[in-house]
Structure 1
């Protein structure tokens, strides 16, 4: 099947390789690209902290150029939102990693289960990005977990031309579009609002990483859209494997 991958280029290429191994024809259409601001995180790491939390592998990558400053903190507990983020943290040298089920709710629950690690003198350091939802931080605050948030990366919108959209979606219609975040869903459907593109997507199926992302799919495409059973790429691939034509 011809499958459009909307992830940023680096992670999108890894997804494309998995799809090719399954016999599919991936098409990269990165809607965002990361800008790293690791210098913002380095001073925060030097403060006393109980553990680190990350909701994206991009937060870990933002720290990689600062290996010398990072080294003394690699033994600190690190709470990762999911498997891919945990893998990035392991590659960067973190040795005590706790992995959640792939979303902010499960990550907050995992942190709360280890509340004894934290105090006002040793708070959780949340290495965050923008844009982001409020669920994780609101859950920590409600549970009385002391934390500090530092924005160490941001996802910026890619420049998507009409030619890019025509190549990905019109010249040869896509069988599937994979949507990995709420921002990706909003941006994708903003780009394809033109009648020609909407028509080209008439038979396209949309694989969404969560029900929240599915809720952002316009009504005209909702009947051909599906949400993964859990917020992970593995679950998206399981869902993809149940689609006709696979």
Structure 2
């Protein structure tokens, strides 16, 4: 199947390789690109803290350039939102990684289970990005978890030319479009709002990482949400479409 991947370039390339290995034809359409502010993260790590939380592998990638400056902090417990983020943290050298079920609610629950690790003097450091939802921080506050947040990356909209959209969506019809975030869904349907794209996408199926993302797909399109917020669960939804 011809599958449009809307992730940023770096993560999108990994997804494309997986799809190609499964016999699909991946098409890259990176709707956002990351800008890292790793210096903020390294500075925050040097302050008092008991553990670290990350809701995206992009936060870990923001630390990549800092090498030896990162080394003293790698022994801190790190709470990762899901498997991909945990893998990025392991690659970066973190030794104590606790992995949640893949969403903000699961990560909140995991941190709360280890509340005894944290105190006002030694809080949780949340290495965050923008834009982001409020579920994790609101959940921590409601559970009485002492934490502070530092933005160490931001996802900026990519300059998607009409020619790029046409190549991805019009020249050959897309069987599937993968949507990994609410921001990606909003951006996609903003770009593909004209009648020619609506017509081209009439038979296309949108596979969403969550029901929240699914809610942003206009009702005129076919769409389905993964049972859990992970790429693996999204890929499971490719099976009926491919006849396997």
Moved over 6 A (4+): none
How many equivalent residue pairs?
244
Q: Quote the Cα distance in structure 2 between the aligned partners of 1:162 and 1:181.
A: 22
Q: Quote the Cα distance in structure 1 between the aligned partners of 2:37 and 2:242.
A: 43
2:237 aligned counterpart, secondary structure: helix
Q: 1:64 to 1:244 in 2, by over 3 A?
A: closer
Q: Which residue of 1 aligns with 2:7?
A: 7
Q: 2:226 aligns with which of 225, 228, 231?
A: 228
- CA-to-partner distance for each residue in 1:81-106, whole Å, 9 max, x for gaps? 11000000000000000001111110
Give the superposition deviation at 1:244: 4.6
Give the superposition deviation at 1:239: 1.1
- CA-to-partner distance for each residue in 1:7-31, whole Å, 9 max, x for gaps? 0011101010111111100000000
- CA-to-partner distance for each residue in 1:62-87, whole Å, 9 max, x for gaps? 01111212101101000001100000
Give the superposition deviation at 1:242: 2.1
Q: 2:236 aligns with which of 235, 238, 242?
A: 238
What CA RMSD, in Å, does the superposition of the two structures yield over aligned residues?
A: 0.8
Give the superposition deviation at 1:245: 4.5
Q: Which residue of 2 aligns with 1:17?
A: 17
Q: Which residue of 2 aligns with 1:165?
A: 165
- CA-to-partner distance for each residue in 1:152-191, whole Å, 9 max, x for gaps? 0000000001100100000101000000000000000110
Q: Which residue of 1 aligns with 2:28?
A: 28
Provide structure 1 residue ranges, at least 5 long, that are not aligned to the other structure. none
